[in-house]
Amino acid sequence: MSKIFAVANQKGGVGKTTTCVNLAASLVANKRRVLLIDLDPQGNATMGSGVDKSELQLSSYDVLATDLPARKAIVATQSGYDLMPANGDLSAAEVELLEMDGRESRLRRALREIGGEYDYIVVDCPPSLNMLTVNALCAAHGVLIPMQCEYYALEGLSALIDTITQIQRAANPELKIEGILRTMYDPRNSLTSDVSEQLSEYFGERLYRTCIPRNVRLAEAPSFGKPALEYDRHSKGAIAYLALAGEMTRRHAANQSSNRPVAEAV
């Protein structure tokens, strides 16, 4: 079965889309089968994957708002992962979903049919805790939260954690915080180390050891429709996301073997 991650933080500009595109490419480099779902009407993950959002035949809108099978909206990218793209049409789904039965579990239902085809499904969320993000959280096993180590970042986190707790109670008891990722990281900034320390105290193991540095290559790559790994594979940004994919897959492998019965694990 696929591991499904929602990459969420209601704050804009914290590196959600950058994380989705570069993590997808890095998991592919680790020989994993990956689907990236763009659930943001801005369509940045779509464009950043080299797919023109103005020329989509079908998109995540059709999957959520009509009963289009997920497979029909999925396209292959040049980077080796599959993509369910999005564009401005998706803003209509935000409103249309409110009228529908099972409105928060439309994505979960759609993904059931393709569960076995991917090792990882990564969902790029919009910068708000709206019905699109709720759909991602209901479908996911884990939430990956990218954040910048700034003072107000911690304040914003509590609203997200409240939402996650509500969804765990009401709709998706399996949902976990997969990990907290420090993005645009600058260790020379003293506030960064203070915030980092607080995160480590609060989240413990769930704070990824890998930090993503501020790196201009990560900001340039989307305008070429490529992950940094293809745009400049020696860049610090590309290497950091490869390290994140490694940390993530090692964690999952360790959890899987510790969940197995002892007789099987030895």
E-only strand ranges, 58-139: 75-76, 82-84, 120-124
In DSSP terms, 124 is beta-bridged to: 7, 38
Please give the full DSSP string across 48-80, using - where no structure is assigned.
HTT--GGG-SS-HHHHHHS---HHHH-EE-TTS
Q: Which stretch binds ligand ADP (CB under 6 A): 6-14, 24-32, 95-103, 242-250?
A: 6-14
User: Do residues 171 and 136 touch, judged by C-beta distance below 8 A?
Assistant: no
**Which is closer to ligand ADP, CB of 104 or CB of 124?**
124
Closest CA to 143 of 97, 95, 178, 195: 178
Q: Binding of Mg ion at residue 17 (CB under 5 A)? A: yes
As a whole number of angstroms, the distance between CA 195 and CA 178 comes to: 19
Q: Binding of ligand ADP at residue 218 (CB under 6 A)? A: yes
Q: Which stretch binds Mg ion (CB under 5 A): 43-51, 106-114, 169-177, 223-231?
A: 43-51
As a whole number of angstroms, the distance between CA 141 and CA 228 comes to: 27
As a whole number of angstroms, the distance between CA 220 and CA 179 comes to: 26
Q: Which stretch binds Mg ion (CB under 5 A): 41-49, 184-192, 208-216, 242-250?
A: 41-49
Q: Which residues 107-146 are close enough to bind ligand ADP by CB under 6 A?
A: 127
Quick note: the x/- pattern for ligand ADP over 196-215, rule CB under 6 A, is ----------------x-xx
Q: Binding of ligand ADP at residue 219 (CB under 6 A)? A: yes
237 binds, among Mg ion, ligand ADP, none (CB under 5 to 8 A by kind): ligand ADP
Q: Binding of ligand ADP at residue 95 (CB under 6 A)? A: no
Quick note: the x/- pattern for ligand ADP over 21-60, rule CB under 6 A, is -----------------------x----------------
Q: Are strands 176-185 and 75-76 parallel, antiparallel or unpaired?
A: unpaired
User: Do residues 137 and 178 touch, judged by C-beta distance below 8 A?
Assistant: no
Measured in residues, the chain has a length of 266
Q: Which member of 2, 10, 17, 77 binds ligand ADP (CB under 6 A)?
A: 17
As a whole number of angstroms, the distance between CA 215 and CA 114 comes to: 35
**Which is closer to ligand ADP, CB of 189 or CB of 255?**
189
Q: Binding of Mg ion at residue 16 (CB under 5 A)? A: yes
- Give me the residues that bind Mg ion (CB under 5 A), please: 16-17, 44
- Give me the residues that bind ligand ADP (CB under 6 A), please: 12-18, 44, 127, 183-184, 212, 214-215, 218-219, 222, 237
